[in-house]
Amino acid sequence: MEKEEDDHHHFNNSSSSSSSQIEKWCGHEFLYKFNGFWFTKTYLKTTQQVLQHFKPLPNDVILASFPKTGTTWLKALLHSIIHRHSPNSSDTLLLNHPQELIPSLETNLYVQNGNFIPTIIEDQNNKGGGTSSRILATHIPYQIIGDLLRSSSTCKIVYITRNPKDTLISLWHFLQKSGNVFASDPWELPSAVDQFCRGIVPFGSYYDHVLAYRDESRKKPEKVFFVTYEELKENPNGCVERIAEFLGCPFEGGEDQDLVGEIVKNCSFENLSGHEVNMSNEMPPSGFPLPYSSFFRRGEVGDHVNYLGEEMVRMIDDVTREKFHGGGFVYGV
């Protein structure tokens, strides 16, 4: 405990990323409030680096999401849609974890083995000139990264969200996979529900995160495409076609229709989760503290019923009604 307090002291006094509000999370982790959202110490620093250095290019495709809402799946899909005419595009998924294939601004581009490497973003900034698109992912809330993303009038954003209860359960499981990182003080489910409802989770509040991207997709449908995990599960072919159309690379009839089915199949949970690279217990070189395999668990809609008791469901549903339904977004209960 003494060490943690030292860390806070150091953190608060030593960097421009100081935050006056701090909450205990789990393990040795604390969450820091920045512009209304909660970040781990590492993500607060890397988010600020992104804000300082990242410049969107006109052809960029930004995959935005709250953690555990289907980011990995959408990474595989976006890559497959955009590179569908490249030779060996399906082999690419066999050999590369989707998290490596599409870098995350605040994870892969900056944090390599715990060190910040701003030059990596320079390389990314230099790619994607001409006609080819860079695909980059982020969990940074629109309230924080929106100005930057609007600075390129043509870069496009694809946002995925997921039922709040499944999102929370997925996050809760994800942290269990972190071995001894959180073992000393695990995130018990009652605290997880309580903190989730109060918005105190990395990149949270989940609700504010979702609402801002959704609002922008309604105001500027040519800029932001909003899709839910449940829609993708229900009608993956239709979603893939709509995403391709939104990105300006629509599928035509005939052979292209077969391609849609192939992409959906290649990116299915059943398919991806069986690839050696995705089953690996190796840690990514980015320094991300969880193994590659941790991004694949059950991949189902409604798994929360197996974990959340009645009272927990009631607590989350109450917040969902207030935040989502109250704002006209009837989703998530």
Q: Which two tokens stand for residue 302?
A: 């409604």
| Binding piece for ligand A3P, criterion CB under 6 A, among 7-15, 29-37, 217-225, 298-306 | 298-306
Of 128 and 299, the one with the shorter C-beta distance to ligand A3P is 299
Question: Binding ligand A3P by CB under 6 A: which of 8, 150, 173, 325?
Answer: 173
Q: Residues 135, 102: contact at Cβ < 8 Å?
A: yes
67 contacts ligand A3P (rule: CB under 6 A): yes
Q: Does 68 help bind ligand A3P (rule: CB under 6 A)? A: yes
Is 8 a catalytic site residue?
A: no
Helix (H, G, I), strand (E, B) or coil at 123: helix
Q: Exposed, middle or buried by CB within 10 Å (0-12, 13-18, 19+), for 51?
A: middle
Cβ-based neighbour number of residue 60 at 10 Å: 22
Residue 213 lies near ligand A3P (rule: CB under 6 A) = no
Kindly state whether residue 241 participates in binding ligand A3P, applying the rule CB under 6 A.
no
> What DSSP state is assigned to residue 181?
G
Which pairing describes strands 61-65 and 111-112: parallel, antiparallel, or unpaired?
unpaired
Strand partners, 225: 158
By CB under 6 A, how many residues form the interface with ligand A3P? 21
Q: Letter for the amino acid at 118?
A: P
The binder of ligand A3P chosen from 73, 110, 213, 246 (CB under 6 A) = 73
Q: Give Cβ neighbours of residue 11 (< 8 Å, ≥ 6 apart).
A: 17, 18, 32, 41
Question: Distance between CA atoms of 209 and 215, rounded to whole angstroms?
Answer: 10
- Cα separation, 316 vs 90, in Å, equals 39
Asked whether position 124 contacts ligand A3P by CB under 6 A, the answer is: no
Q: Which of 27, 92, 191, 269 binds ligand A3P (CB under 6 A)?
A: 269
Residue 163 as a binder of ligand A3P (CB under 6 A): the answer is: no
Instruction: Work out whether 272 is an interface residue with ligand A3P (CB under 6 A).
Output: yes
30 or 73, CB closer to ligand A3P? 73
The catalytic residues are 139
Give the interface with ligand A3P as residue ranges (CB under 6 A).
65, 67-73, 166, 170, 173, 267-269, 272, 295-299, 303
